[in-house]
Amino acid sequence: MVNGKDIVITSRIRLARNLKNYKFPIKMSSEESNNIISNTNEAMNHSGLKFKLIYMKDLSELDKNVLIEKHLISPALAENKHGGAILLSEDNKISIMINEEDHLRIQIIGTGMCLKECWEVANKVDDVLEEYLDYAFDKELGYITSCPTNIGTGMRASVMLHLPALSISNQTEKLLYGVSQLGVAVRGVYGEGTKSMGYLYQVSNQGTLGASEQTLIEKIEQIVWQIVDKEKRVREHMLKNNIDELEDEIYRAYGILTNARTIITDEAMKLLSYLKLGKEMDLIGKVKDKDLYELMVKIQPNSLLSTIDKDMTVKERDRKRAELIRNELLG
């Protein structure tokens, strides 16, 4: 019934790479940054895959914020208005941020738990790039990165988890503290601090040095499955002991989401999270065929704005959000 697949939303592998003979992006000239962009673009032409090259300078603030909300670029890249760019595959699953904190950040996103598969893709992209670019690599330290925390493999493996049961029962703080002792960072995906909007959390390795990529990935996987197991056990406990309250909360969430005329992101995320929980626990059948995580992304402020032509006030946006949710859930 409750399924690990439902709890693990996405997996992501990110490799930080830098080139020899160039300053780090924070200090480089626009000539240097343009060089890196065109060399990287050229290198990827040999990959056999189609990539779109997008310069940060060509994007509006809104466009950039949408890409951030979709986790395709980082806020740091968006801020590099002069030298920042991204190479994006057609399916949005492979992206190479150019001139973010590091010269290159190869990022692979996949659905569910698929760190190993993402790593394989990342590794191939890395091989293509390495063939044409001159990486900064030290035999002892590994890949040289702008921030020392990334030195070594330069790899960050992260997994996005939906943890409503642990959150509702106030067990996230303790759990997150526990895993941070194991060299793993956990943070909210949307919103600030440990009280994440929509109970979505990102789990990732903190260190990148002193272990192989495979070892790091296995460690993250192991910890993620432990967290997933805890979330499942709390769900089972709720089914046994609080099913009435839970069912009520979930139906109320559905009632509000399908009727509200105005709704802010925070409330919508919380209610969608309840609904997702209810769907996965077979407590509500009405949303069986709905991708609720996708809807969570769609209702983010900038993603929502991007679907509309005209400028909207916050109030209009909150009405539009309510309308979008009604249409998606009832449509």
* Contacts to a copy of itself by CB under 8 A: 244-245, 247-248, 251-252, 254-262, 315, 319, 322
Alpha-carbon distances, residue 117 vs 100, 157, 185, 214, 217 (angstroms): 25, 12, 22, 11, 11
Single out the residue of 198, 195, 191, 121 nearest to residue 157, CA to CA. Answer: 121
C-beta closer to a copy of itself: residue 237 or 252? 252
C-beta closer to a copy of itself: residue 84 or 278? 278
Closest separation between CB of residue 323 and a copy of itself, Å?
12
Closest separation between CB of residue 281 and a copy of itself, Å?
14
Closest separation between CB of residue 308 and a copy of itself, Å?
17
3-class secondary-structure state, position 156? strand
Closest separation between CB of residue 6 and a copy of itself, Å?
22
CB atoms within 10 A of CB 107: 26
CA triplet 32, 35, 36: central angle to 5 degrees?
A: 90
CA triplet 63, 295, 120: central angle to 5 degrees?
A: 75
Closest separation between CB of residue 245 and a copy of itself, Å?
8
C-beta closer to a copy of itself: residue 109 or 292? 292
C-beta closer to a copy of itself: residue 86 or 260? 260
CA–CA distance, 271 with 296 (Å, rounded to integer): 10
C-beta closer to a copy of itself: residue 228 or 246? 246
